[in-house]
Amino acid sequence: MPVDPRFKEGLKLFNEGGFFECHEVIEELWLETPEDDSNRDLYKGVIQAAAAIYQFDRGILSGADSLYKTSVGYLEKYKPAALGLNVEKMIEGMNTFFSEKERRTPKLEYN
């Protein structure tokens, strides 16, 4: 199955720290994706992960924590990988980011 270029662009933006932009690009894809598409929740998980870090960076901690938890919930069913994204590594990175005092933005691995 070919990967939509917007998904790849969104992952690139995530890795560059463009969390708001990542959210916007992949959300556009998500909105166009039929409800019965098996990748719809993958897109939503990445969207919410980007939004979680964006909210954290803005100091909106309760919103960030809530988005983080729901993003991991959406991503879990795609482990270990989907559409070239190392989902397992992404979840590990998000868990680390939201559990450590010294926050390090996770880097996404994808083909």
Q: Token digits for 82?
A: 């989907």
Q: pLDDT at residue 30 above 80?
A: yes
pLDDT at 84: 94
User: What pTM did the predictor assign?
Assistant: 0.88
Q: For the stretch 100-109, what's the b/e string if a residue is b when 16 or more beta carbons lie within 10 angstroms of its beta carbon?
A: eeeeebbebb
Q: Which residue has the tokens 């901690």?
A: 61
pLDDT at 2: 86
Residues 28 and 73: their CA atoms lie apart, in Å, by 21
Residue 18's region, left for phi above 0, alpha for psi from -120 to 50, else beta, is beta
Q: pLDDT at residue 25 above 80?
A: yes
Question: Under CATH, to which class is 5-99 assigned?
Answer: mainly alpha
Judged by DSSP in three states, 38 sits in coil
92 phi and psi angles, rounded to 5 deg: -60, -45
Q: How confident is the model at residue 100 (pLDDT cuts 50, 70, 90)?
A: low
Find, among 44, 40, 46, the residue nearest to 10 by Cα: 46
Per-domain residue ranges of the chain: 5-99
Average pLDDT over the chain, rounded to whole?
Answer: 92
